[in-house]
Amino acid sequence: MKVFISHSSIDKKFVRTLKDCLNENGIETFFDEDQLDLGDNLVVKLERALNETSHLVIILSPASITSKWVKYELKKAIDNHKTGVTQKIIPIKYRECEIPSEINDLLYHDLTSEVVLPIDEEKVKFISKGFEPFLLKLVRAIKSTSNSFNDIEKQEIIKAIKSAEKDIEKDNESVHRGHYEIIGYSNRESKIKYGNKVLLANNALQLEETRPILLPFSLKGKFKVELGERIELISDNKYKSYGYFAGYRSDDLKLVIDKNARDELRLLPSQLLQVEYYLDKKQIYIFSGNKNDPGNSPGFFIIS
């Protein structure tokens, strides 16, 4: 796992302290003063670093939200998050400021009321009690999502994105492409919880019929679907199934499909698959990558 720390140079003392804390917990970081040298092409170096890191931690302050480099890093990370290269974007509000509109739906940690002292010219020390609980949450948040993609998978995703850039540019207003991990519910209680949400919106169903589906957070506000709407599922091997929309996952790029539906689609658990969301048609194509199954045409599910 590797974390890119996006920040303004004004907040460098805090960032050095945070970097040391993350490194002590086995989390590698990209920190500009460690990795950038004289003569480096900043855009090339930053893009490469963002493609190679699994998380973006963005330090929010009056200086950072107006920094053109922080804006560039955030935009690139959001693009990478849509395709699975960046697993998580974690905002940290270090000084009182407005939250950028691009991430105002994300949970952030507020350190603005914490008290710090300068250790020297390089770093700060927190003397209030809020920093240690914050660090514990941050380390757990990073480590809990650090294993979704290995380096080879990330490079394959980046390669696929670059090869499809012309097509994406042509239809990027109506098509959302990405690689998603297809998973199920971790326990029966979680499945029942979302199934009951479907029932509240669609009382014509029985609980066992709901097969709740959770879409990736990156589609929130883009993919127009109402709670309880039926979703017809078809994979590229032409197997069919269905489910009902139950909400969005909060923080990552996993697509949750009920086990019965996954079985009917012949999908293995925790598969990383290419998915194309046709936003205007409300269709989603799932490419299973299973060469042994019959059929080669793209699969899709339609929201009726």
Characterize the bridge pairing of strands 301-302 and 283-287: antiparallel
pLDDT, mean over the chain: 80
pLDDT(95) > 80: yes
Of 190 and 38, the one with more pLDDT:
190
Portion of the chain with pLDDT greater than 90, in percent: 33
- 230 DSSP β-pair partners: 244
pLDDT(302) > 60: no
Question: With 0-12 CB in 10 A as exposed, 13-18 as middle and 19+ as buried, what is 66?
Answer: exposed
> Mean of the pLDDT values across residues 168-174?
52
Characterize the bridge pairing of strands 175-183 and 271-278: antiparallel
- What is the Rg, in whole angstroms, of the alpha carbon atoms belonging to the chain? 21
Task: Report pLDDT digits (tens) over 191-212.
Answer: 999 999 999 998 888 888 899 9
> Mean of the pLDDT values across residues 3-7?
93
Least confident range of 19-23, 122-126, 287-291: 287-291
- 57 DSSP β-pair partners: 5, 90
H or E segment at 259? helix 259-265
Closest CA to 107 of 224, 217, 234: 217
Band of pLDDT at residue 8, cut at 50, 70 and 90: very high
Quick one: tokens of 175? 């098509």
The domain 2-144 belongs to what CATH superfamily? Toll/interleukin-1 receptor homology (TIR) domain (3.40.50.10140)
CATH class for domain 164-302? mainly beta
Band of pLDDT at residue 297, cut at 50, 70 and 90: very low
What is the biggest distance separating any 2 CA atoms in the chain, rounded to whole angstroms?
Answer: 66
Of 167 and 126, the one with more pLDDT:
126
Displacement of CA 303 from its chain's centroid (Å): 23
Band of pLDDT at residue 219, cut at 50, 70 and 90: confident
Quick one: tokens of 20? 């040391």
Q: Which residues are CB-neighbours of 81 under 8 A, at least 6 positions away?
A: 87, 88, 89, 218, 253
Closest CA to 4 of 63, 67, 80, 104: 80
> Mean of the pLDDT values across residues 110-136?
91
- 287 DSSP β-pair partners: 274
- Number of alpha helices (DSSP H) and beta strands (DSSP E) in the chain: 9, 15
Whole-number pLDDT of residue 232: 85
Whole-number pLDDT of residue 182: 86
Contact 6, 86 (CB under 8 A): no
- Please tell me the pTM assigned to this model: 0.52
Contact 5, 89 (CB under 8 A): no
Whole-number pLDDT of residue 82: 78
Where are the domains positioned within the chain?
2-144, 164-302
